[in-house]
Amino acid sequence: MSSPGTLHYFDNDLQVHRLVVGPYDNNVFVVRCIHTGEAVLIDAANEHEKLLELCRALGVTRVLETHGHHDHIQAVPAMREAGYEVAVTADDAQMLKDVGYDVFIEDGQVIEVGRLRLEAIHNPGHTPGSVSFKVHGAPLLFSGDTLFPGGPGATHFPGGDFATIISSIDTRLFTFPADTVVLPGHGADTTIATERPHLQEWIDRGW
């Protein structure tokens, strides 16, 4: 089963669905194992009615939060009320104190979604607990607000740090193959090959 209009990427093993929601045009992704029908939702950002409809259509069993900023967690209460487990890193859990969470995501943790495996990569800088998800066996990296087309995510919010996000991008994300597709928390996809040559430019400009 698929949801019309949301399919963003697919191969023989998986589907990625994308829905853009809320006033900040947040990307919400569903990663679905074609073989088992099990799926996971990345960032319960906003417009919970649409997200719940998508979750029911695609077999979502839980929610993974890339970080705790308010625009990425507005739909969390409705998701939890509907029975979906919500996971976030311990470093960002405090940001979810008003909406709740269920379990922690740890650096290096491998999350099973049917036959798929998503590896959690702690990449602080945008927030202390920001985390990306790399799909094993597929060229897909869900980067949250850490890496965008044209540079790193903002670091002027409390808990943000520019030197830290640059280090995270350089040592944790730019180590992936050049053809890795980066799916960020807002805006269009990019690739490691497109962004990696510009690291020094970002450092020089300071944002």
pLDDT tens readout for residues 148-191: 999 999 999 999 999 999 999 999 999 999 999 999 999 999 99
> What secondary structure letter does DSSP report for 154?
P
Q: Where are the domains of the chain?
A: 7-205
Model pLDDT for residues 185-203, shown as the tens digit of each residue: 999 999 999 999 999 999 9
Beta-bridged to residue 129, according to DSSP, are none
Chain-centre distance for alpha carbon 9: 15
Other CB atoms within 10 Å distance of the CB of residue 204: 7
Please give the single-letter amino acid code of residue 204: D
Fold exhibited by the domain 7-205: Metallo-beta-lactamase; Chain A (3.60.15)
* Vertex 41: Cα angle to 136 and 61 (nearest 5): 95
Please give the single-letter amino acid code of residue 198: H
